[in-house]
Structure formats: C-alpha cells, structure tokens
Amino acid sequence: MKEAVLIINSGSSSLKFAVLSHAGEKLVMQGVADRLNSNQAEITINYAQTSKKAALVDGSHQAALIQIKQWLEQKPDILNSLTGVGHRIVHGGERFTDSALIDEQAIQQIKACIPLAPLHNPAGLKGIEACFSLFGHLPQVAVFDTSFHQTLSNVEYLYPIPIRYYRDHGLRKYGFHGTSFRYISRKLTQLEPESTNSGVVVAHLGNGASTCAIFNGQSVDTSMGLTPLEGMMMGTRSGSVDPTLVAAIAQRDQLNTDDALTVLSKESGLLGISELSNDCRTLEEAMNAGDERAKLALDMFCTRAAKNIVSVATSLTTLSHLVFTGGIGENSNYVRQNIVQNLSILGIQLDTKENIKCPRGQTHLISPAQQRTKVWVIPTNEELMIALDTIKLIRQPENVV
C-alpha cells in the first residue's frame, strides 16, 4: 500500500476517522466513535465491506484512538504504510491562512483560537494530543475550515459594528466549510479550466449549510460568519435573523443569552419549523405524504438558500458556474429544483430531466446546454483534501525530520 494518511475529525462528542492510501485516492477504512464522554460511547469501524461495532468503556477521545491503533496493529500493511496524520480543525482564526504542520507553536496558535470556537477547537486538540502519544513517529497536519476564507477583503469580513470589537477581539466574519469549497473549486478547474477566470458560487447544503463565491480559486465571500450560525437556514440552525430575537427569546422563555442562542442553533431551522426532523430526507417523505409543515420548512430552506446564493454572487462580476454539494445538495432534486426556481432573476434554469436522473455520488451537469450559468452537482470530498494537504506538507524538504 502506498502513501496512506490517517484522517481525524475530532468533534466534542464524536470522532470520525479514515485511512486514505494512494495519495488520497483510495479509501481503505473509515469509521466513527460516537457519544464520547458518555457511558454509551461506541466505535464503528468499516473495512472491506464489513462493519464492526464495539463499546468504548472509557468513552474518551484517547480511548477511541487507542482502539483505532489496536485495529491498525492487526493490519500491519496499513499501519506501516501510514506517512502522516491529517486533522480537521474548525477554527484557525487569522493565524492560519493555509493548512499547517503541527508543532508546539501551531498547538499554541490553535489554543489561541479557542475563544472563537470554544466547543470545536478543544475537541480538535484532544485528537492531536492523543495522536502525538499514540502515533508520535508520524508527522501531523492541521487543515482548517476557516483558512480558505482568509482571502476575503475587509469590506466583506468586517461587521458594521464598532471596529474596536474586531481590533481588540477579532470579531469578524471567518466562514466555514472551507475544505469542501476548496475541493469543489479544484474539481471544477479540472472539469472546466476556464472556471478559474470566471465567477463560481458553491452551495454546500448538508446539516450545516453555507454558500461561497469563488474567483480565481479564492474565496471572495461566504455566508457563514463569526460562527456557523450566520447565513442560510439549516437543519437545526436559524441562520441570519433579526439579532433582537436573541433578547426576545431570552425574555419570553426566561433564558440567559447562551441558552437563547442554543434555541437558534439547536432547535430552529428545518427542525424548528417542521417540529418533525432536521433531516431533509425525512421531511421530503413527510411532504410527499401530505405534511404541510414539512413542505413549509423545505420551501423556507430553499428560498433562503437562493437569497444567500444571490447575496454572495454580488461580489463577482459574472456567474458562470453554480455548484450544489453536501448531503442535501448532492441528493435532493426537489431542493435543487426549488432553489433554482427562486433564481429566475439571474436567468438560471435547470434541465429537469438531468436534475432528476443525476446519478448518486457522481459529478453531473444539470443545466440546459448553452445556458450562461452552468449548474452542477459535484460530490464533495473533504477527506481527500485533508490527505493531499498532509502529504504536501510532510513532503516539503524543510519539514522532513
């Protein structure tokens, strides 16, 4: 096996992992440790068409990684081919404009970003620390959700609030889903080399959802902000709303600010409107069975997605490519059709048949031939980007230890 990389995505209560070989092209194994820090923690490892589940008695991030290492020790060909570990880290603040080899200084800088991502960065650091103790011989690389958006101009990233909040505390738009947007931009350049000289908008629609305008391979605007709560309506997030709603919700329900924000981030969006589910597939099934609130939730999602697409597109001079990606963007022809219907002001249409027949997991053009804006479905692959960044950074001569 050639050039395998262990990919770690360490969240507050879950740790997703994968081994990719052949410079990121081949998925060897993958899995998830769920419900960490509870007595119901368990780990699932998928390898060669089999799936094995095991309880994690000590439900810590370290315990999950010990299980992964023990599994790898039973597969020495995979273990011995590992060349590095790539970590998804949510927030790199303004310190990280690109992925970085992890050394003591990088760890301190990731720690310094904790106030911007108090739940996510500590979880990422737990994954890094556990990997240093278990795979200390392997170089490690951090790949940030935010770094792709560090190319935004200050006109885009500043909030119109007293500028001292930015100057003294770094309060600004950072944006997320950067690894996905970077993958899509790269893939589109392979398909259509001219796309680097024209405007591209990507709608990453999953449980979390955001849009990004890209020119010349660089992010020029994005819908998420200081946190992933800004922008589009999502599975459980409201997206952008009148900020005074935070005080109004706190007052009505006698909550503090943090708890009022939890209503907007965990109880709103598709779930809040449908009172049924945050899951698009479940809502489509309910809508098709006549549930009007499921339809209302989905229609609100689509209208707001269209508004966000137009909003980020204003930072471009042309819109030559619109790309749908993420679990919903890749799989829901209803959502794609509905969003594009809301974009008729831009003269964008879909080829209805191509939209419906779009094969699962494949890149597909879903707009009519000759239309000025090409509309695509491109499956994202954040793991591949993490593997490629890891390999690139550990190959650089100055980084060879």
Residues in the site for ligand ADP, rule: CB under 6 A? 206-208, 235, 279-281, 284, 326-328, 331-332
The residue among 72 and 335 lying less far from ligand ADP, judged by its C-beta, is: 335
The residue among 231 and 326 lying less far from ligand ADP, judged by its C-beta, is: 326
The residue among 294 and 348 lying less far from ligand ADP, judged by its C-beta, is: 294
What is the number of helices (H) and of strands (E) in the chain? Answer: 16, 14
Active site residue 145: yes
- Least gap, CB of 331 to ligand ADP (angstroms): 3
Q: Which two tokens stand for residue 341?
A: 């219907």
- Least gap, CB of 326 to ligand ADP (angstroms): 4
Sheet holding 82-89, edge to edge: 50-55, 42-47, 26-34, 15-21, 4-10, 82-89, 140-144, 100-101
Classify burial at 299, counting beta carbons within 10 Å of its beta carbon; exposed 0-12, middle 13-18, buried 19 or more: middle
Q: Are strands 218-222 and 209-215 parallel, antiparallel or unpaired?
A: antiparallel
Cα 205 from Cα 211, distance rounded (Å): 8
Distant-in-sequence, close-in-space partners of 336: CB < 8 Å, separation ≥ 6: 324, 329, 350, 355, 366, 375, 377
- Least gap, CB of 143 to ligand ADP (angstroms): 16
- Least gap, CB of 327 to ligand ADP (angstroms): 2
Cα 36 from Cα 64, distance rounded (Å): 8
Cα 62 from Cα 57, distance rounded (Å): 12
Which of the following is catalytic: 145, 258, 279, 291? 145
The residue among 84 and 235 lying less far from ligand ADP, judged by its C-beta, is: 235
The residue among 272 and 327 lying less far from ligand ADP, judged by its C-beta, is: 327
Distant-in-sequence, close-in-space partners of 302: CB < 8 Å, separation ≥ 6: 335, 338, 339, 342
The residue among 281 and 395 lying less far from ligand ADP, judged by its C-beta, is: 281
Q: What is the 3-state secondary structure (H, E, C) of 264-294?
A: HHHCCHHHHHHCCCCCHHHHHHHHHCCCHHH
- Least gap, CB of 235 to ligand ADP (angstroms): 6
Is residue 146 a contact partner of residue 88, using CB atoms and an 8 Å limit? no
The residue among 46 and 371 lying less far from ligand ADP, judged by its C-beta, is: 46
The residue sitting closest to ligand ADP, measured at its beta carbon, is 327
Q: Which two tokens stand for residue 346?
A: 């831009």
- Least gap, CB of 132 to ligand ADP (angstroms): 27
- Least gap, CB of 281 to ligand ADP (angstroms): 4
Cα 110 from Cα 50, distance rounded (Å): 36
Residues marked active site are found at: 145
